[in-house]
Amino acid sequence: MNLPGVINNCIIRKNGDVIVGAGSCTLPEITKKTETLTGAGLGGDIEIPIEGQLENMTANIKFSNICEGMMLEDGKVMEINIKAALQEVDTESHETGIIKRMSSSIKGRVKSLKPGDVAPGSKAEAEIEMSVTYYKLEIDGKELYEIDKLNNVCRINGKDIADAVRSALDL
């Protein structure tokens, strides 16, 4: 059995090109939309997740300094691809050099830009926030998530939980 360890290294690309100056990327949080069910005969409110319906997703890219890679591209979809080497620990052999490949693809539009602070001898620590319409995450080729909000796709561990809804709507 392997224990998750550290992200050994990663690379972030925007529209296919390496983003020089990118320091890290916060992947989108996946939160299901919910509705509260209440009524006679119930012992109180029940929060029901709406399958296949998700809250807005955002991704953040942090830069070590102000650079061209963080520029706003009004009206244009930005595609971010992240590759990472995940280093794990084997609990039986105690080896630490086990590497798995993480791959993530994110599509969306820039929502905000924080250029950071400008001061002598310091980093600006700039950041952009994207509103995400597409998100895919894989580890060693195994799909964990694929969410395509514009095409009503919500796959988790390879199972499309929005498939029944599309079928009911004859889509």
Q: What is the pLDDT tens value at each position of the chain, 171 positions in all?
A: 888 889 999 988 888 887 767 788 999 999 999 999 998 888 899 999 998 899 999 999 988 877 776 666 677 898 999 999 999 998 999 988 899 999 999 999 988 888 888 888 888 888 889 999 999 999 999 999 999 999 999 999 999 988 888 889 888
Q: For residue 49, what are the β-bridge partners?
A: 34
Rounded CA-CA distance 41/22 in Å is 55
> 16-41: b or e for each residue (b if 16 or more CB lie within 10 Å)?
eeebebbbebebbeeeeeeeeeeeee
Question: How high is the pLDDT of residue 20?
Answer: 66
Question: How high is the pLDDT of residue 72?
Answer: 64
Question: How high is the pLDDT of residue 70?
Answer: 66
